[in-house]
Amino acid sequence: MTEESQGFSRKPSDVPVDAVDAAGAPAGDTAGEPVAKGAGPAAQTGPGAPARGEGAYKELESVRGQLAERTADLQRLQAEYQNYRRRVERDRIAVREIAIANLLTELLPVLDDIGRAREHGELVGGFKSVGESLETVVAKMGLQHFGKEGDPFDPLVHEALMHSYSPDVSKTTCVQILQPGYRIGERTIRPARVAVAEPQPGAQAKAEEASDEENGGPE
């Protein structure tokens, strides 16, 4: 019996596929194509994949926290700047009002002279034009004069230089304006100097008695 008849001489193509697989070679080798390294589910869900995802999440949370802090800082700076602007504007207006008040206070004696000249009929000619121009300018700057005969006496805006009693008044009244007062807005820069009159003592009681008699006596 020869070797060929006993099956010892075989071609590689005659070897069964199962025999090659059993020897330990990959099944894919039968097609002549090696299996790619890293292929399969183990390559997609390896031990390092969850760790990398957790690190990215922590980094994102850190960035969000920093963004929130910077946003809060910006809002705080903006609020401080707005408060600063309002404070500067308020101080600027206050300084302007004080400067105007100081200037107009220095001009009050001149305005008093113009008023007295008008009362005596001496405000004529060029002096009248200058006086009226000055009064117009100070009025535009916010200066207002006050004080009229018959006004109720107010110690906050009136300064009583003369005092008397009168049957013609029922309460303390300004009966003569000795020097007008001046104000800027709600701020009084000089009170009006006045002569005041009070009701005569007992006059109010007499007036009430007379009213009761006219009405048929007290009830």
For the stretch 34-56, pLDDT in tens is 444 444 444 445 555 556 778 88
Q: How many domains are contained in the chain?
A: 2
Please, which pLDDT band fits residue 28 given cuts at 50, 70 and 90? Answer: very low
Name the least confident of 15-24, 108-117, 168-177, 208-217: 15-24
Q: Is residue 148 part of a domain?
A: yes
Side chain identity at 37, as an amino acid letter? Answer: K
Q: Are residues 147 and 187 in the same domain?
A: yes
Q: Are residues 163 and 126 in the same domain?
A: no
Please, which pLDDT band fits residue 168 given cuts at 50, 70 and 90? Answer: confident
List residues bridging with 80 in a β-sheet: none
Residue whose C-alpha is closest to residue 183's, from 97, 81, 80: 97
Q: Are residues 176 and 136 in the same domain?
A: no
Q: Is residue 72 part of a domain?
A: yes
Q: Are residues 164 and 102 in the same domain?
A: no
Phi, psi of 16 (to 5 degrees): -65, 145
CA distance 112 to 159: 16
Residue 165 CA: distances (Å) to CA of 152, 174, 193, 198: 14, 11, 18, 5
Rounded to an integer, what is the distance from CA 97 to the centroid of its chain?
21
Domain termination residue (choose one: 94, 112, 141): 141
Domain termination residue (choose one: 113, 141, 169): 141
Residue 47 CA: distances (Å) to CA of 38, 50, 54, 57, 58: 13, 7, 12, 17, 18
Q: Are residues 166 and 181 in the same domain?
A: yes
Q: Are residues 148 and 113 in the same domain?
A: no
SS3 label, residue 159: strand
Q: What is the pTM of this model?
A: 0.55
Half-sphere exposure of residue 166: CA atoms within 13 angstroms, side-chain side: 17
Q: Are residues 117 and 159 in the same domain?
A: no
Q: Are residues 137 and 166 in the same domain?
A: no
Please give the residue range of the domain that contains residue 175. 143-212
Q: Are residues 126 and 69 in the same domain?
A: yes
